[in-house]
Structure 1
Amino acid sequence: MAAPARTLNDVECWLTDMDGVLVHESHPLPGAAELIDWWRETGKRFLVLTNNSIYTPRDLRARLLQSGFDVPEESIFTSALATAEFLKRQHPGGRAFVIGEAGLTTALHEAGFILTDSEPDYVVLGETRTYSFEAITKAIRLIQAGARFIATNPDATGPSKEGDLPATGAVASLITTATKREPYVVGKPNPMMFRAALNRIDAHSETTAMIGDRMDTDIVAGMEAGLQTVLVYTGITSESDVDVFPFSPDYSFDGVEDLVKRLRDEDGTDGSGEGGSEESAS
């Protein structure tokens, strides 16, 4: 017999992207604080995921506090943390040459790695607002000498007030062109990051959902990890973009504000909820 279809009522644990779902350029999106409050009220386990490897969870908690809501450090999971966990399993006590900022270097230090430019086991590329040509050149030469190439995420650009900035994926492509070596990318859309997140909150894929704003990272990775997927149209993917993909989210909403209304309505905690613009995938 076929298994019964899963619904939002079945969700016990939640994963959510940060930028484009909860905040946009440090401004809170409608319903974000209410969503965090609802998870706490109902005792749901949750993690806020981000491919951004610049900041530590403590930094990100402070930034979210400035946006108007409190997310504990232990409820924030970055691609830097996922990368550090992966490398700790692969090569405990290893050596790495790192291009990145505090979020990545702190995670690797705490995982027991030695950061060095002398005979490293790995070159680890993360995000920084000040990519150094000298550091990129050093990374290329170390990879050519045998160091294995790791990238925290595949994002080609990052946002700024002035417009897009080159990000990890763009610099990884430059290094790949010079070395003919492709990096192993740990962050979204690699389902490994989702499995690490599930382990962190002792969650099971059958009863966990992922909220994201990108079909090509959040939704595809959530789907491949066996999660229910919820797409919101407050970030990268618009409603008109969905049909170009060969897969669909399980649910879609204009934003998390409508998701919260739907959840409260189904839970019976707010009889006035209307449920937003949800559409269930067949």
Structure 2
Amino acid sequence: MIADKFDVFLFDLDGVIYIEGSPLPGAVESLKILREMGKTIRFLTNNPCTTQKKMVERLKKIGIEAHIEEIITAGQVTAQYLERENIKTAFILGDENLKWECKQAGIEIDSIINAEAVVVGWDDSLCFGDIKKAVQLIDNGAKFIGTNIDRNFPGKKGLLPAAGAIVKAVWTASEKKPIIIGKPYPYMFRKALEDLKASSKTIMIGDNYFSDILGAHQTGISAVLISEGKANKFPSARDFRNPDAAIPNLKGLFDDDVTVRKWILPHFPWPNDGVKAGVAGVIFDKSRKVLLMRRVDNGLWGIPSGHVEPGETVEEAIVREIREETGLKVKINRLIGIYSDPISQVFSYPDGKIDHFITTCFECETVGGKLIKRGEETLDVNYFDLSHLPKNLLPMHPTWLRDAIHKEKGSYVR
């Protein structure tokens, strides 16, 4: 049974322990048994409208033992993040609990004219003027921080909007991506585990694929889904959102018939911005040297590549990308391959964005233009002998080049 296999149990609250203050079936007795077994317990909540002390009182009110050090809230860790980043002033879109947490961390929240950060949580009394002020501050250089991006949470009468609804409004208007503190991002999980032995076997119990399961897996720990019905199954076995087991309630932790898949962290980061269409172009000169460019964003060399814009064909996209990046006008000679392998096709950007590209790779021939040695996106552009390629090549590009050399006849799809 699951209870025997792990030392540390991380629990989400809403939808796992209770719904709107009422304990869920098996919650009270299951947590009591885990404590009797000597298990370590932590409660992780993305709710920014509470404090550790209030959560302890709330849990005790429904018969569940809890201690201050076992509670990790989105508001608490957000305030700790501000303190760690040496932020002194912040404009808070949140209720009195989030503001209290920030004040405890020494953050000035009353003077907002030149606030260093905008922190977005949840408050029923928020108005459009608050969002307008937040957007203006971010546009003027304030850091944009969200307690979490949960879109909703379960209520007795159905789904209720959560903090992510406010975060998304500010995100859309400011066109700036926020730093997110709560699940599924790693900061909250690290705070939950920082005082525990590294050898401890840890598992997350949650009801949300996109915060609890994904967040646990990104941190490298196993995850169990609480689901009364049949759990969803995402198509790929490598999908971080697939739980390692599913149980109807916490009593399932003691069911001998429930097995837990061992979570092995794949060798690629989770593509939080989805799957996108990419293009690449292999260009040889007359002496069979290959054209490579060194990118501004990471300093690595690679074959000219980019993404497909709305309304473009992949052929139009690679011709445009090569012209923009190198100054050369090209024509397409043949298709080399179509690539979607997540290990080589997941690309991380300096701002934290992660994309998984399905890339259509062509062999192209120069028909005009003038080679630009340096541009907005390139530090250098040059031709290289195939036996003396740069060592710091982008990870997916050697495969494209290899296939261009060895698959001279016909198309190759992988």
Question: In structure 2, which of residues 217, 232, 239 is the aligned counterpart of residue 241 of structure 1?
Answer: 232
Equivalent in the alignment of 1:88: 83
Structure with the bigger percentage of strand: 2
Give runs of aligned pairs for residues 54-203 of structure 1, distance below 5 A: 54-91=49-86, 94-116=88-110, 117-160=112-155, 163-199=158-194, 201-203=195-197
Q: What stretches of structure 2 of length at least 5 have no aligned partner?
A: 263-414
Tell me, yes or no, if structure 1 residue 48 matches structure 2 residue 39: no
Structure 2: distance between partners of 1:205 and 1:81: 26
* Native 8 Å contact 2:14 2:153 kept in 1: no
1:25 is displaced (CA, Å) by: 2.0
* Native 8 Å contact 1:205 1:227 kept in 2: no
Q: What stretches of structure 1 of length at least 5 have no aligned partner?
A: 1-6, 263-274
Kindly report the root-mean-square deviation, in angstroms, between the aligned alpha carbons of the 2 structures: 2.2
* Native 8 Å contact 1:150 1:183 kept in 2: yes
Structure 1: distance between partners of 2:68 and 2:96: 15
Structure 2: distance between partners of 1:165 and 1:9: 35
Structure 1: distance between partners of 2:82 and 2:199: 23
Equivalent in the alignment of 1:211: 205
> Counterpart of 1:100 in structure 2: which amino acid?
G
1:8 is displaced (CA, Å) by: 5.2
Give the number of the structure with larger relative contact order, counting CA–CA contacts within 8 Å between residues 6 or more apart: 1
Structure with the bigger percentage of helix: 1
How many residues align? The count is: 257
TM-score with structure 2 setting the length: 0.58
Equivalent in the alignment of 2:321: none
> Counterpart of 2:47 in structure 1: which amino acid?
N
Q: Deviations over 1:75-123 (max 9, x none)?
A: 111111121122221125x111101123311221122211131211100
Equivalent in the alignment of 1:280: 260
Q: Deviations over 1:138-178 (max 9, x none)?
A: 11111122111000000123445565443321112211222
> Counterpart of 1:82 in structure 2: which amino acid?
V
TM-score with structure 1 setting the length: 0.83
Structure 2: distance between partners of 1:240 and 1:108: 38
* Native 8 Å contact 1:84 1:111 kept in 2: yes
Structure 1: distance between partners of 2:200 and 2:245: 16
Structure 2: distance between partners of 1:240 and 1:12: 25
Question: In structure 2, which of residues 27, 30, 34 is the aligned counterpart of residue 32 of structure 1?
Answer: 27
Equivalent in the alignment of 2:250: 256
Question: In structure 1, which of residues 2, 9, 26 is the aligned counterpart of residue 4 of structure 2?
Answer: 9
Q: Alpha carbons of 1:160 and 1:41: their partners in 2 closer, same or farther (altered >3 Å)? A: closer
Equivalent in the alignment of 1:266: none
Instruction: Give the % identical residues.
Output: 34
Give runs of aligned pairs for residues 221-240 of structure 1, distance below 5 A: 221-234=215-228, 238-240=229-231
